[in-house]
Structure 1
Amino acid sequence: MTALAEPMPDDATCWAAFLARDRTMDGRFVGCVATTGIYCKPSCAARHPRRENMRFLPDPAAARAAGFRACLRCRPDEVGRDRIAVAAARALIEAAEDAPRLEAIAAHVGYAPHHFHRLFKRETGLTPAAYARALRADRLKAALGSPGSVTSAIYAAGYNAPSRAYADADRHLGMTPSAWKDGGRGALIRWRTIDSSLGLLLVAATARGLCRISFGEGEAELRACFPNADLQPADAALDRLAQAVATLVDHPGETPDLPMDVCGTAFQQAVWAALRAIPSGETRSYSEVAAAIGRPQAVRAAGSACGDNVLAILIPCHRVLRSDGTLGGYAWGLERKRALLDREKDG
């Protein structure tokens, strides 16, 4: 079984995927080699055949019907099985009151624990434990938005003790539960604007890391995002971060280890991790991003997660194009998106 979000790509796209050994295209089609009689997934590490000997078919079943046999090196038949297993594991985690142990999850889907740990992270961008924590933090975030006390919200989200909720909130919400419920009141955010070669940049950070990077914004826009936070001018630490971000505008292909403090759902976090995994100078379509996190049918949701990115350049949503190769959208203007892509290619 192969989960497809849209029709199989054209032959030129398929061939390009094989040449790049593009793992994000695994499961969307297979390549059949006339001279050997085998079919492979796009990321197969075997030596590439000549183009005239390649034929592309939508899935392993079609390849077998045409008389080809599965490659023993890349095992293309397991792609669909892997994605079914990850989907089943997500469902198990989402339905559980307490996060199940890795061993229990792996046994449920029929894999060895160490192997499934790697597989789950490859498909979703998160480990099973991180996925469970993010889901519980999502529930906490939703509960904090409802009437009632912080304590009741904590238990409604499935926590057994407030201490665990506060630890998860620090990781996923960037502030304490009470601060989140009160619109960020008490959270200290330092900010400044800085000139860059693509226009004025707003750079803002909490004590934990960068919480907003945007073009053409200022204090009014920042206050709209964090209406009850304590906004303060930059200190020396933020000045250094701002300089590093401005440099990144000129060299977007670099991957500096800058601290981040952004909250998001488990799905958004997986998408943002997938964006950061796209190599500099390369692009992906929204459907490829969705497939990369094991949710090939969630193409629109992947696009929305790209649009929800609040850290311009650092989380490189500019590397995502429409399936026809056109630029698509970009919150900070298509001219900037085109410039960033050009700079990565030239770099």
Structure 2
Amino acid sequence: MTQNQNLTDDQRWQIALAKDRRFDGAFVTGVHSTGIYCRPSCPARAPHRKNVRFYACPQDAEAAGLRACKRCSPNTQSAEEACVLAAIAAIREQGTMTLDQLADLTGYSPTHFQRLFKRTVGLSPAAFARALREERVREALESGASVTDALYDAGYSAPSRFYDGTQSQMGMTASDWRDGGAGRTVHWSVIATSLGDMLVAATDKGVCCLSFNESEPELRARFPKAELVEAGEDFRALFAEVTGIVEDPSQASAHIPLDVKGTAFQQRCWQALREIPAGETRSYGEQAAMLGNPKASRAVGSANGANNIAVLIPCHRVVPASGGVGGYAYGPQIKHELLKREGSVDEELFQK
């Protein structure tokens, strides 16, 4: 993908380690110990970093005396890659397109193209188009547009189409996003845990906040127009289960309902966090590469920082590539303890 030519070498290295095929064509990886160059997605074993140089194109690698890898054929662009790029351009230009239309455009059967597109982009064509529309809605709302104008300008035929497609995922509607939770009731409690006092809050749709060493004033700042009510019996079982997961974050938490708000980019970042298994960590660059944009490390860090739901959306599993535990909204000690309980950090790492 030639639009990613301005990547840094550190970003290219993270892409190569992830074998991310979405960046095939953006650069090639030259391995000077073997004299070959490869696609970023080459399935061969990763070389030592000291032996690697990156080149903008196969011609540059060959000018440096390298030859093309026979396993991944980096000196040719496959017809499949070209078709996916053409489909992405068509979706961006025309908005919603049916799978049959995209298949006709590319010459593949609908079933095969669906698999090809998802393998390359990480989303189905329909999910990619939805994410693009949702991003446009968020940008318009943040710039002050009315909800109706934002929805129609983004390509929705009716407001209900937006709500039906996103409310189960995001919980809060477009109006909630703009109005700071107006019209919603948030039930909250402060619970003593081994990590300190924990603020947990939920709507009737799911948990909307989990933080440490905070209370009602901080919750009010997050949801300035919502009605805040101290939680009663109806939320006791949910809050008890959340507390158990905080005490043992290696437990599965995907079944806990969430009610979150955020831009489409933030949503993708948070979903990527939930896909990191307990006991594993990722760097910010690796998380950005998972989202298809290794240059977005800082944006990923900002999105993680905007996460209102600690532990259940496990931003503590992202650490600096250079070592150490790194920053955390509630302090590095809590982050270290969460990682330690999951078995993904040792005392030496905390001292770096």
CA-based RMSD of the aligned residues comes to: 4.2
Q: Could you say if the C-alpha distance between residues 22 and 202 of structure 1 is closer, same or farther in structure 2, counting changes exceeding 3 Å?
A: same
| Contact preservation (8 Å) 1:93, 1:99 | yes
Using the alignment, how far apart are the partners of 2:75 and 2:244 within structure 1? Answer: 45
TM-score after normalising by structure 2: 0.75
Partner of 1:305: 303
Partner of residue 286, structure 2: 288
Q: CA 1:145–1:297 in 2, change beyond 3 Å: closer, same or farther?
A: closer
1:276 deviates by 2.2
The partner residue of 2:188 within 188, 191, 205 is 191
Q: 1:177 to 1:296 in 2, by over 3 A?
A: closer
Judged with a 3 Å threshold, the aligned counterparts in structure 2 of structure 1 residues 291 and 180 are, in CA distance, closer, same or farther, namely: closer
Counterpart-to-counterpart distance in 1, 2:316 and 2:46: 33
Letter in 1 for 2:320: R
Superposition TM-score, scaled by structure 1 size? 0.75
Name the stretch that deviates more: 265-274 or 150-159. 150-159
CA contact (8 A) 2:282 2:319 kept: yes
- Secondary structure at the counterpart of residue 268 of structure 1: helix
Q: Tell me the CA shift for residue 250 of structure 1.
A: 3.1
Partner of 2:54: 58
The answer for the alignment partner of 1:263 in structure 2 is 261
Quick one: which of 205, 214, 224 aligns to 1:227? 224
Deviations 1:86-116 (A, max 9, x none): 66655543433x4222344466577765455
Distance (Å, rounded) in 2 between the aligned partners of 1:296 and 1:316: 20
Give 2:286's aligned amino acid.
E
8 Å Cα contact 2:288-2:297 kept in structure 1: yes
Distance change >3 Å, CA 282–CA 178, structure 1 → 2: closer
Distance 1:301-1:17 versus aligned 2 partners, 3 A rule: closer
Structure-2 residue corresponding to 1:325: 323
DSSP-derived class of the 1:284 partner: coil
Shift of 1:129: 1.8
Paired amino acid for 1:198: L
Is the alpha carbon distance of 1:228 and 1:70 closer, same or farther for their aligned partners in structure 2, counting shifts above 3 Å? Answer: same
Q: What amino acid maps onto 1:337 in structure 2?
A: K
Closer/same/farther in 2, CA of residues 322 and 271 from structure 1, 3 Å limit: same
| 1:70 lines up with 2:66 in the alignment | no
- In structure 2, the CA distance between the partners of 1:238 and 1:58, relative to structure 1 (3 Å rule), is farther
Structure 2 residue aligned with 1:100? 97
Gaps of 5+ in 1: none
> How has the CA–CA distance of structure 1 residues 195 and 207 changed in structure 2, closer, same or farther, with 3 Å as cutoff?
same
CA contact (8 A) 2:32 2:51 kept: yes
Relative to structure 1, the CA distance from residue 158 to residue 24 in structure 2 (aligned partners, 3 Å threshold; closer, same or farther) is closer
Q: Distance in 2 between matches of 1:314 and 1:134?
A: 22
- Offset of residue 76 of structure 1: 6.3
Q: Which moved more, 1:192-201 or 1:148-157?
A: 148-157
Q: Deviations over 1:113-166 (max 9, x none)?
A: 545544554566543322322332333344456667654443233221232133
- Report the Cα distance in structure 1 between the residues aligned to 2:78 and 2:272, rounded to whole angstroms: 20
For 1:1-347, what aligned pairs fall within 5 Å after superposition? Answer: 3=4, 7-8=8-9, 22-23=18-19, 30=29, 56-58=52-54, 61=58, 66-72=65-71, 89-96=87-94, 98-105=95-102, 113-114=110-111, 117-118=114-115, 120-121=117-118, 126-144=123-141, 150-168=147-165, 170-171=167-168, 174-257=171-254, 258-345=256-343
SS at match of 1:195: strand
Q: 1:116 to 1:237 in 2, by over 3 A?
A: farther
Percent identity over the alignment?
A: 45
C-alpha distance after superposition, 1:26-61 (max 9, x if no partner): 8687585978x8766787666x6998xx95443683
How far the C-alpha of 1:308 sits from its partner, in A, is 1.7
Provide the C-alpha distance between the structure 2 equivalents of 1:293 and 1:79, rounded to a whole number of angstroms.
22
Query: Quick one: structure 1 residues 68 and 221, their matched pair in 2 at CA, closer, same or farther if it must change by over 3 Å?
Result: same
- Would you say how many aligned residue pairs link Structure 1 and Structure 2? 337
Q: 2:172 is matched by which residue type in structure 1?
A: M
Residues of 2 paired with 1:237 and 1:176: CA distance?
Answer: 23
- 1:203 CA drift (Å): 1.4
